[in-house]
Amino acid sequence: MTFPLNLSPPVFLAPMAGITDLPTRSLVARFGAGLVVSEMIASGEWLTQRPGTREKAELGLGVEGTSVQIAGREAGPMAEAARMIAGQGARIIDINMGCPAKKVTQGASGSALMKTPDHALRLIEAVVGAVDIPVTLKTRLGWDDDMLNAAPIATRAEAAGIQMITIHGRTRCQFYKGSADWAAIRNVVDAVDIPVVANGDIVDAATARKALAQSGAQGVMIGRGIQGRPWLLAQIAHEIYGTPAPRIPQGAEFTDMVLGHYDALLGFYGTKLGLRVARKHLGWYMDHAGTPDNARRAVLTAQSVEETLIALPAALDPSAWDVAA
């Protein structure tokens, strides 16, 4: 069973809106990842808003091991967006049928497409027919517990030319509540001959092994687990597939990595927007470091780059923590 473009190792980064931007994907990829996926783009907006240089760069067009994820509800715009993106150098296009957000599903796209399989297949056929590069699909188990139709959709998607399917082990109506049902993904694995990737609640090598064993999937896709730990995919790949072990930064090396990510975010977004975007990433790094509340507040309430650069090294250095403050 062959992954599109022979992606290896089969430990992939999930698309997460507002999180897996280009600087973050680049950092994860430097540690090691079989595939990173861009944040979802709406096909209609891509066609009408004439994206600028930063927005085009955001997709990682032409970057090896990067997939561009698109969403939409109409076959024509989906096909045209796919054609444009492929023409600009995309290596893989992924179709989003898994996003549970209300603003997406109320527009009859994302996981709402699982309620209308015939229409969903028309979109899939349009995208596959529009490009010569591999097209993949990401879905959930179904809309709700009464509509667990991932397997029949996957069968039809494979017949339409989809080359890989990622399944988040929840229904849309679960959002991110409860636990991902990795065993339920096996129905999809048994229904198709293309690679299936398990997604949902995979946060370390132990959960990755369980997800693979219970689902029978050929790979895993990890999302929230990388927050504050951009080396996680490489670490899991090492423990499961024997790839080279990543050098996990500690002490001053960890601080330097965080500062480098911060600088990359500011350079990509500009100072004003970058300050806001970076806060969540800095918060996750401080979660990983165990930063005490007083030092954490100093970073997250900083009003300028200069204030942040003063507060951040101390917040990541246990020897500088004044836990009594």
pLDDT in tens, 128-151: 999 999 999 999 999 988 989 999
- Asked whether 82 and 107 are in contact (CB, 8 A), the reply is no
Residue 235 known to bind ligand: no
Q: Is 173 a catalytic residue?
A: no
**Calpha distance 2→253 (Å, rounded):** 37
Question: Using 50, 70 and 90 to split pLDDT, how confident is the model at 325?
Answer: very low
Domain boundary among 191, 215, 241: 241
Whether 214 has a binding-site annotation, put simply, is no
How many percent of the chain have pLDDT more than 70?
94
* Residue 108, in any domain of the structure: yes
Determine which one of 28, 99, 232, 266 is catalytic: 99
Question: What are φ and ψ of residue 160, in 5° steps?
Answer: -80, -10
305 within domain boundaries: yes
User: Where among 208, 241, 274 does a domain terminate?
Assistant: 241
Q: Is the pLDDT of residue 57 over 80?
A: no
CA pair distance 161, 87, nearest whole angstrom: 19
More confident residue, 165 or 177: 165
Domains contained in the chain, number: 2
Q: Out of 179, 209, 241, pick the residue that ends a domain.
A: 241
**Same structural domain for residues 170 and 21?**
yes
Average pLDDT over residues 167-189: 93
83 annotated as ligand-binding? no
CATH number of the CATH domain containing 69: 3.20.20.70
Q: What is the pLDDT of residue 6?
A: 84
**Is residue 152 located within the same domain as residue 261?**
no
Q: Are 71 and 213 in the same domain?
A: yes
Q: Does the annotation place 15 within a ligand binding site?
A: yes
224-278 pLDDT, tens per residue? 999 999 999 999 999 999 999 999 999 999 999 999 999 999 999 999 999 999 9
Over residues 280-295, the pLDDT tens digits come to 999 999 999 999 999 9
Domain of residue 158: give its range: 4-241
pTM: 0.93
